[in-house]
Structure 1
Amino acid sequence: MPKIETLPDGSSRQRHNLNHQAIEDYLKTIYMLAQDESPVSTSRIAEARDVKPASATSMIKRLAKLKMVNYAKHYGVTLTPSGEKLALEVIRHHRLIELYLIEALGFSWDEVHEQADILEHVISEKLEERIAAALNYPEFDPHGDPIPARDGSMTKVAVEQLSTIPSGRTVWVRRIIDDANSELLRYLADMGLVPGTAVTIQTVAPFDGPMTLLVDGEAKIIGRNVAASVLVELA
């Protein structure tokens, strides 16, 4: 995907498309970061977008002029109602597309994030509704993330990191935190740690050592750092 500054003069349509995509990407990023901490600092946004702080600040000021965010220097960034609405719309597109690519086109769950990142910006509301209807209006995407409804509401499930669960407990896998990490997703799939799977914690080694899990009747050993990326619901 080319960057705006690398385009030759006269590429007005492509510049418009990339500007539109950049706005949506920033709003989505701010929304996701705000789930952990709000207001969101410019440095966190820059890190998440993999850009220099000055570039992030420039885009944030632009979003503020568009009344998509509230921004004050040394305070941070929050989404306005219109900014949050657009962020949720893009997230809805992304998560519906991920599920559709798996259910209808046979993609694996480690392949769909990159494809959805591209398609989320271009599908129409009519196509989005057709996809949702074809999937029977799902509440969760393939990685367990909730899919926003048309009104922005989402199903919420109380979850904890698998790495924090003591031995002897049985849990249900609900979400994977880093759904963009294809290698991690393939590893977790091989371990059987996918949303909807029941897992019993057999042993937990001390000093952040590995955990032994019972998954579908088989003992699996998983590092504590990997277990931290798996969110579970207590059975």
Structure 2
Amino acid sequence: MPATSPAIEDYLKTVYAHTEWQPDAITPKVLADRLGVAPSSVTEMVKKMAAAGLVSHVPYGAVRLTDAGRARALAVVRRHRLIETWLVQEMGYGWDEVHDEAEILEHAISDRLLEAIDDRLGRPARDPHGDQIPSAAGILEARDAVLLADAPPGHSGAVVRISDRDPAVLRDLDDAGIGLDTVLRVTDAAAASVHVTVGVAGGAGEPPARTLPRAAAEAIWVTA
């Protein structure tokens, strides 16, 4: 696997994450926005990664991972998600607090410590936000899910993933009693919000109703 720097690993992880839950490849402009860097910095880094065989790119076009780039990206994703899981399960962090800590630690811990964390946690399949944790061999199975914001009225599904991009959304969902495996049924999908009932698989009684702002609905994936 090609040698990489923390900066290159951040780029690879961002390129990978962009297409994990939707099909459109990432553009240099979106990459710059996601990383909070200047477009010129992205241009130079993409050239460097392309020269190393990690991405394919044509001027002004989308950036795509090569097989080598995807393998390296999945290795970083594995570190990030295992660390997030460890921080929540063992260190008492909230699921809205772990992303920035994992961003730092993923570049610092050894492979030996990472495998010890994985073993200690019982080799978890997903992180606190529902994102799958790649195996040590870089295997990650695709899941069939639909974005809650796109689900039609009447659709019912269990929450399989919640984006950790906005910690405030995670806190609001926590307050609303919505987390992984919560069963949501869409009762109305308005322009500015999505109305759902909230239940638990196998639960009894009338489930409570909630109105979720569009930003929250666009952060939740449920079973199709």
Does TM-score exceed 0.5, indicating one fold? yes
Q: Bigger radius of gyration, 1 or 2?
A: 1
CA distance in 2, matches of 1:169, 1:78: 33
CA distance in 2, matches of 1:131, 1:40: 32
Give the AA of the match of 1:93: R
Tell whether 2:203 aligns with 1:213. Answer: no
1:107 is displaced (CA, Å) by 0.7
Give the AA of the match of 2:198: L
CA distance in 2, matches of 1:165, 1:37: 18
1:44 is displaced (CA, Å) by 1.9
1:39 is displaced (CA, Å) by 4.7
Report if the CA contact (8 A) 1:139-1:154 is conserved: no
CA distance in 2, matches of 1:27, 1:187: 30
Aligned residues: 214
Root mean square deviation of aligned Cα: 2.0
- In structure 2, runs of 5+ residues without a counterpart are 201-206
CA distance in 2, matches of 1:38, 1:167: 26
Q: Who is 1:103 aligned against?
A: 89
CA distance in 1, matches of 2:175, 2:167: 12
CA distance in 2, matches of 1:162, 1:37: 17
Match of 1:66 among 34, 52, 55: 52
CA distance in 2, matches of 1:107, 1:149: 24
CA distance in 1, matches of 2:175, 2:109: 32
1:148 is displaced (CA, Å) by 0.7
CA distance in 1, matches of 2:25, 2:218: 25
SS at match of 2:81: helix
Report if the CA contact (8 A) 1:38-1:77 is conserved: no
Q: Who is 1:29 aligned against?
A: 14
Q: Who is 1:3 aligned against?
A: none
1:41 is displaced (CA, Å) by 2.2
Match of 1:158 among 133, 138, 144: 144
CA distance in 2, matches of 1:33, 1:230: 15
- In structure 1, runs of 5+ residues without a counterpart are 1-18
Tell whether 2:212 aligns with 1:226. Answer: no
SS at match of 1:155: coil
Tell whether 2:75 aligns with 1:75. Answer: no
Q: Who is 2:203 aligned against?
A: none
1:206 is displaced (CA, Å) by 4.5
Report if the CA contact (8 A) 1:38-1:78 is conserved: no
Residue identity (%):
36
Q: Who is 1:125 aligned against?
A: 111
Give the AA of the match of 1:223: P
* TM-score, structure 2 normalization: 0.87
